[in-house]
Amino acid sequence: DIQMTQSPSSLSASVGDRVTITCRASQTMGFYLNWYQQKPGKAPKLLIYAASTLQSGVPSRFSGYGSGTDFTLTISNLQPDDFATYFCHQSHSAPYTFGRGTKLEI
Amino acid sequence: EVQLVESGGGLVQPGGSLRLSCAASGFTFDSYWMAWVRQPPGKGLEWLANLRSDSNEVYYLDSVRGRFFISRDNAKNSLYLQMSTLRAEDTAVYYCARLPWLHNAFAFDLWGQGTMVTVSS
């Protein structure tokens, strides 16, 4: 099974900041990495798929990078709506696994 | 409107069974892989199972294989999760999710609102 190590587990930032969240896979997996945003009491929302492709409707301040085992999600010019929890997810092989999440707080 | 709506959650005793349903609308349901993902209270996401559009290919998380059964009825635009021998650790919000092939990768691009399952005596 591919294990996903996501860091940091929490992050404090301010409106206008630029933040980066990292996900490391326990084995190489090409570009099969997705990122989701989740707000309290809501379902996750797909932000980025295939490591770097922005899902339709997602603001361009979100960007993804990486391949193989190391991936990043960067949010530039943080907006109030961006304070949420973010999860990475590998779809290379079953069992599909998620990172433990990064809670982005003010 | 493109949406997924889960139902069937509730309180069940340890060892009991429950069947979750997910009603799809606004898209061609029988063209997509579908999946169930759960989230225990205050914790992260856990993928449970995938089912191909024609039901001919399925994958399960090891810890639920043999206890949970994913199925679909394309004529009714519905996905199901039959859960049996439930344990306290199965307590979670259960989401159904659409799983398209996007630019050479699967990703969950549409989620339901979730249904809560509580396993407790």
What are B9-53's pLDDT values in tens digits? 999 999 999 999 999 999 999 999 999 999 999 999 999 999 999
pLDDT interval class at B104 (50, 70, 90): confident
How big is the A-B interface in CB pairs under 8 Å?
A: 68
Tell me how far apart the alpha carbons of residues A63 and B49 are, in angstroms, rounded to a whole number: 28
A34:B108 CB<8 A: yes
Q: Who among A46, A91, A101 is closest to B44 (CB)?
A: A101
For the residues B98-115, what does the mean pLDDT come to?
92
Q: Who among B44, B95, B102 is closest to A100 (CB)?
A: B44
- The string of DSSP codes covering B80-106 is EEEE-S--GGG-EEEEEEEE-EETTEE
B50:A96 CB<8 A: yes
Portion 57-86 of A in contact with B at CB < 8 A: none
CB distance from A97 to chain B under 8 Å?
Answer: yes
B103:A49 CB<8 A: yes
For the residues A23-51, what does the mean pLDDT come to?
96
**Closest residue of B to A96, CA-based?**
B47
Per-residue model confidence (pLDDT) at position A18? 97
Per-residue model confidence (pLDDT) at position B79? 98
pLDDT interval class at A90 (50, 70, 90): very high
User: Which H or E element spans position A59?
Assistant: none
The C-alpha angle A18, A23, A28, rounded to 5 degrees, equals 140
CA-derived radius of gyration, chain B: 14
A47 has a pLDDT exceeding 90: yes
A57 has a pLDDT exceeding 80: yes
- Classified as helix, coil or strand, B74 is helix
CB distance from A36 to chain B under 8 Å?
Answer: yes
For the residues A29-51, what does the mean pLDDT come to?
96
| Residue pair B85/B108 in contact by the 8 Å Cβ criterion | no
**Closest residue of A to B6, CA-based?**
A43
| Residue pair A102/A47 in contact by the 8 Å Cβ criterion | no
B73 has a pLDDT exceeding 90: yes
